[in-house]
Structure formats: structure tokens, C-alpha cells
Structure 1
Amino acid sequence: MKTKILLAEDDSDFGTILKQYLELEDFDISWYQNPEDIVPLLSTDFPFQMGILDVMMPNIDGFSLAKMILKEHINFPLLFLTAKNQKIDRLTGLKIGADDYIAKPCDPEELVLRIRNILKRTLPPMVEPMVKIGAYALDTQKLLLSHPNGNIRMTVREQELLLYLLKHNHSTITRNNILDNLWETNDYFTGRSLDVFISRLRKYFSNDPEVKIQSLRGIGFEIDFPTN
């Protein structure tokens, strides 16, 4: 699954080049020229793994936008872009919580290297080979869900969905968030597919009443998996 990156850059020429180059490097880029368009997203699931923010933008500058993002999503990885490499900007960005800082025009290969280094430091580690879920044990290498009453061989998609739900354990997650992140599309047919997979997971965990995947009409699902 591609890493989703939020790009805030008001320069259309530079933004176009940057988006195209990063997509060639297999990143999923959501580019916004107007930072005000990002504000409504902050109170949603915000399905990005990191952000690249231009410091000098109209209406809302990169530093102000970063503060707004970090207020809603603590420890969200950020890299600042600036046309000027002044010390005061570097210090301001670091105090806000920037993970890195690069001056424009930047070398694309250096930018990609910086992005990958940030992701290595900030993304959660790979899932453990064995995951305990209530009375069950999931062998992620063999796609095998084990229970004293029997074993279930999961499909790759079933396990991806289960691990994604575990990532959002003890919380509410919207249908759109799941579809956008796992299916990378959101239409009637993928929505129906999601319902089928959710039904399967409920059936798989039917031997443990403490495992709960509760549907919330018009919203998504409330997840509660005992993992200790």
C-alpha cells in the first residue's frame, strides 16, 4: 500500500513537478494549492502518513498550518519547504515540531531520501509475526487465525482489513477511511465488498464475545479488540 502524503504548495509549476516526481517514486500525493482547503480535513480521519508544507503560502502560512495539524494529530510527521534558507525559519519550524526542512529549489533525489528517512523514524514498526486477539492468535506470516475450537486460513485482504482495524483499536473508524486506505477507491461495489469482509471477520471471531466490530449507521465501525 502506497504511503499517503499531504502536499501543501501554492506554486503551481513547482507543485506539479513535485507531485509527478513523488508519484513516480511510488508515493500517493494529495496536493493542495490553497491551505484553507486542508482545514476541514483536520477533524476527519486524516488519512495521511506525513505532510510536506511550503512555508510561504497565502492566507495560511506553512507554520500556522503545521500548528493546526499538530493540534489535532499529535506527532504527525512534517517536512517544510521554503524558498529562503534563513536561520529564523529553520528554528521556527523545529520548535513547532518539524521532522525536517529543505530549501527550494531542492534536489528531488535528496527530497525523496529525506522523506524516506522521516517515514522510517515515524511510521509504526512492521506488525509482529504473532498477534494475540482475545482468545485468538493471528500468525501474520501464514495468514492463520487460531482458536482452541479450530483454525481459520485467512485471505490476504481479510488479514489486511483485520490489521487495519487493530491499528484503530478502541476507536471509531469511518467506512471512507477503510475504503480509501485499503481499496484506494470508494464506490458502491467496494462498499459492498467491505460489508462482506466485515461479516466474515465477525463470524471468525464469534467464539469470543469480547471481540466487537459494531456498525454505526452512516458513520462506520466501532472497534474493540482485547489484545492483552
Structure 2
Amino acid sequence: MTPSKGLVLVVEDERHIADLQRLYLAREGFGVHTESDGAAGLEAARRLRPVAVVLDIGLPGLDGTEFCRRLRAADDWTPVILVTARDEEADRILGLELGADDYVTKPFSPRELVARVKAVLRRTARPQADGVHTVGRLRLDPLRRTLHRDGEPVELTTTEFNLLAHLLARPGQVFGREQLLSQVWGYADYRDSRVVDVYVSQLRAKLGDASPIRTVRGVGYSAQESGR
């Protein structure tokens, strides 16, 4: 029987790392299924419907970025946490742009990985008490977790949605990157502040000229009253 916290899929080709991830996740009450290559991992994601995927970028055959692209292309928004080497920054950013929700960098603490998994699951399941936000041409419904632009649905990742909802709930308030990491991502790591910039860029690309996000130079971001 799968533990109550759900099943986490670990896709990692280094056996000792996969075993360590399994051990620490299992200690926290997660079921764990492991695969050692991208193609098998993608099939497992489709078959097992895990609550989250811990995904190494440097996989043989189907690498982590292509795994993520195919998963999102199939309209599967299962939270994905990338595991990357320090010299894979370009791949890490590409993975985020393709819809990954977070990442950890090798060498990493297993406890940190578990904390990241928990944080992304909290973001996915977090109840939203705020009402519907209508800003310019956008209508965001936190309870139904839907976003419409000019009446047409816009698909967002879990993290993209939570970031936009957080900003729209507090129009005009300016948030620093570290504040957003703490309040939206669920952790604060100054080294990861570029992640916020990546997600803002993705939101702007999806929303086009309807984007309400304003850059406050040297500080961070806020949501304007309109999308102009």
C-alpha cells in the first residue's frame, strides 16, 4: 500500500544517489518508485501518476529536459524537481522554462531534497482563500486554479500559477526576490533568486501584453492594476 503522503517517482541513473533519495523520502512517509533512464521514467510517470517527480537532468537516452518537455506537452502538470550538476546551469534554466517547478544542485543534502519535495507539494495543495482576481484582460480564480485571458484559458504550471496569484492578491505591493522565494516557493535561498526571474519571464511570455507584472528595478516585482 502506498504511504499516505503519496508516491514520488525518482528518475536517476546513479544508483547510490537514487538509493539515498529513496531512503530519505521513505522516512518521511512517501512511497518511492525509481527508474534509471528517461524513457522508462516517462512511462512510469504516465502509468503510476505520482504526486511528484525527482528528475535528474543528465540521464542516458531521454534526458531530463526532454522528459519535462514531453510530460508538459501531454498536459501532465505533476510537480517536477530537477536534480542537476553545478555546470548544467543552461540545462537547469531550460528545464524551468519547460515547466519544472524547482531544482537542487549536486552535491545536495538529502534533507534539502525532501524539503523541496514537501514545499512543492504544499504549493500544489495550498488552499486559496482569496477571491477571483480580474485585472485588465485577465481573470484568475484561485479556488478553481484557472486563468483566462480575454475569456480563453491559459495553461500555467503550479509554480507559475502560485506566483501570479500571490502578486495579484496584493496589487501594487513590491516583493523582493527573496520574499517571493519564501512566500511562494516555501523556502528562502538567496543563491536561487534567479529562479524568480525565470518564472516572471515565463509568465510574461504566456500572458503577452496582458501581463500585469511590473519590474521594480533593484528591488523585485509587483502586479499593476491593469495589464497595460
| TM-score, normalised relative to structure 1 | 0.50
Write out aligned runs for 1:22-61 (5 A).
22-41=25-44, 43-44=46-47, 46-61=48-63
In structure 2, relative to structure 1, the CA distance for the partners of 1:19 and 1:125 (3 Å cut) is: same
3-state SS in 2 of match to 1:105: coil
CA distance in 1, matches of 2:68, 2:14: 18
**Residue among 7, 11, 19 paired with 1:8:** 11
Q: Residues 115-130 of structure 1 correspond to what in structure 2 (within 5 A)?
A: 115-123=117-125, 125=127
Task: Give, in whole Å, the separation in 2 of the partners of 1:13 and 1:47.
Answer: 24
Residue 104 (structure 1) aligned with residue 116 (structure 2) = no
2: CA distance, partners of 1:74 / 1:124: 19
Structure 2 Cα separation of the partners of residues 52 and 27 of structure 1: 13
RMSD over equivalenced CA pairs, Å:
2.0
Q: TM-score, normalised by structure 2?
A: 0.50
User: How far off its partner does 1:31 sit?
Assistant: 0.6
Determine whether 1:93 maps to 2:58.
no
Pair 1:92–1:24, CA change in 2 (3 A) = same
Equivalent runs, 1:168-187 vs 2, <5 Å = none
Number of equivalent positions:
125
**Distance in 2 separating the partners of 1:74 and 1:22:** 22
Q: Given that residues 42 and 72 in structure 1 are in contact (C-alpha distance below 8 angstroms), is that contact kept between their aligned partners in structure 2?
A: no
Runs of 5+ unmatched residues, structure 1: 127-228
Q: CA deviation at 1:26?
A: 1.1
Distance of 1:99 and 1:66 partners within structure 2:
10
Structure 1 CA distance for aligned equivalents of residues 45 and 70 of structure 2: 8
List gaps (5 residues or longer) in structure 2.
129-228
Contact 1:49/1:123 (8 A) holds in 2: no
Report the secondary structure of 1:10's partner residue: coil
Alignment partners' CA distance in 2, 1:28 and 1:120: 17
